[in-house]
Amino acid sequence: MDVYYIDGDFVSADRATIPVNDLAVLRGFGVFDFLRTYGGRPFHLRDHLQRLQHSAEQIGLNCPWSVEELEGIVEQTLQRNRHEESNIRIVVTGGPSEDFITPGTTPRLIVMVSSLIVMPAQWYSSGIKIITAPIERLMPGAKSIDYIPAIVALRRAAEQNAVEAVYLDGSDRVLEGTTCNIFLFGDGKFITPDRGVLSGITRKVVLGLVQSRFPLERRDVSLAELLAAKEVFLCSSNKEVVPVVKVDEKVIGDGTPGPNTGKVRSLFDEYTRAWATGSTPQL
Ligand SMILES: Cc1ncc(COP(=O)(O)O)c(C=O)c1O
């Protein structure tokens, strides 16, 4: 049984509960972050914790734990579990509220460690289909616990045999996936949207790996440009770098994972292998 940290205690997952008057339950008021281990080492933990604090700040949620304290709690939770590789979810909830809407001063901290979920190998060998969805997140820089649009969009994607949904704003500007960032390759360069998206930690690593090796543009991307791209890939903590071969009903490139995406995948694998052995490679 997995062991979670809740509010100062380590408890087995089947006994991990929070009171129903928590604003996370009543109003969806809370933030979280999610990462995985390589070689048992939390990948870019500090970046994820800094983003967690930034998310809390953005929604006006008091987050009294320092990055160092959070690091310690995550490490202790990891040690109480025995997975070869883990997924780690860190949640800060709004905590109890007297009038059921005004945040109080006692947020809750939850750290959930579970066995790593591995994505299907076929996604990487053959590429995936994604759909587009007209959705804009309210505060795109914050990783709030409200994933209602994502859940709705992912259901629509599954109905169309797609793995992910990529958000478009009101002017058909490409933003990001429900739980990932997007890159395209065309005219000899990589391009990734930079505005109105979550600053993905995987995206940060990918940018670091790509920028010294390929021309790279961080800028707005239109739907037309996405559909005309030679290669497309998604990146996230849970999917790593996954090639996209179809967007809605449009085949991307020749319908197979492209060579430049393959190169990024190799660079990313090399980076995570080095991370697993205890080093922190330069980006
Ligand atoms: C909306 C959104 N964009 C991008 C990402 C990718 O972020 P990361 O690479 O840090 O996992 C996520 C991760 O869950 C996300 O929810």
Substitution candidate for ligand 1 out of 44, 135, 143 with most atoms within 8 A of CB: 143
What is the average pLDDT value for the chain, to the nearest integer?
A: 97
Ligand 1 is surrounded, with C-beta below 6 A, by: 34, 176, 179-181, 198, 200-203, 236-237
- Per residue in 103-146, pLDDT (tens digit) is 999 999 999 999 999 999 999 999 999 999 999 999 999 999 99
**In a mutational test of the pocket of ligand 1, which residue from 237, 238, 239, 272 has the highest number of ligand atoms less than 8 Å from its CB?**
237
Please tell me the distance between residue 179's alpha carbon and the centre of ligand 1 in angstroms.
Answer: 4
Query: Who's near 79: CB < 8 A, 6+ residues apart?
Result: none
* Inter-residue contact 255 to 233 (CB < 8 Å): no
Give 139 Cα–ligand 1 centroid separation in angstroms: 13
List the domain boundaries for the chain.
3-115, 121-276
Distance 54 CA to ligand 1 centre (A): 14
Residue closest via CA to ligand 1's atom 13 equals: 179
Q: Which atom of ligand 1 is nearest to the CA of 35?
A: 11
Residue 280: per-residue pLDDT: 83
Residue 231: per-residue pLDDT: 98
CATH of domain 3-115: 3.30.470.10
Among 180, 203, 206, which residue has the most ligand 1 atoms within 8 Å of its CB, making it the best to mutate?
180
pLDDT at residue 22, as a whole number: 98
Task: CATH number for 121-276: choose from 3.10.290.10, 3.30.420.40, 3.20.10.10, 3.40.50.10300.
Answer: 3.20.10.10
How is residue 231 annotated by DSSP? Answer: E
Q: Identify the band that residue 163 occupies on the pLDDT scale cut at 50, 70 and 90.
A: very high
**pLDDT tens by residue, 39-61:** 999 999 999 999 999 999 999 99
Q: Which ligand 1 atom is nearest residue 178's CA?
A: 1
Residue bearing tokens 């005004």:
102
What confidence score (pLDDT) does residue 132 get?
98
Structure tokens, 283? 């980006």
How far away, in angstroms, is 4 Cα from ligand 1 center? 22
Smallest CA separation from ligand 1 atom 8, residue: 200
pLDDT at 61: 97
* Residue closest by Cα to atom 4 of ligand 1: 180
- Measured in Å, residue 16 CA sits from the centre of ligand 1 at 25
Q: Looking at the predicted structure, is the pLDDT value of residue 281 above 90?
A: no
- 177 CA to middle of ligand 1, Å? 8
Residue 44: the pLDDT is 98
Q: Above 90 in pLDDT, residue 283?
A: no
* Strand ranges for the chain from DSSP E: 3-6, 9-12, 30-38, 41-42, 86-93, 108-115, 128-133, 164-168, 174-177, 181-186, 189-192, 216-218, 231-236, 240-247, 250-251
Taking the centre of ligand 1 as the mean of its atom positions, its distance from the CA of residue 203, in whole angstroms, is 9
Is residue 157 classed as helix, strand or coil in its secondary structure? helix
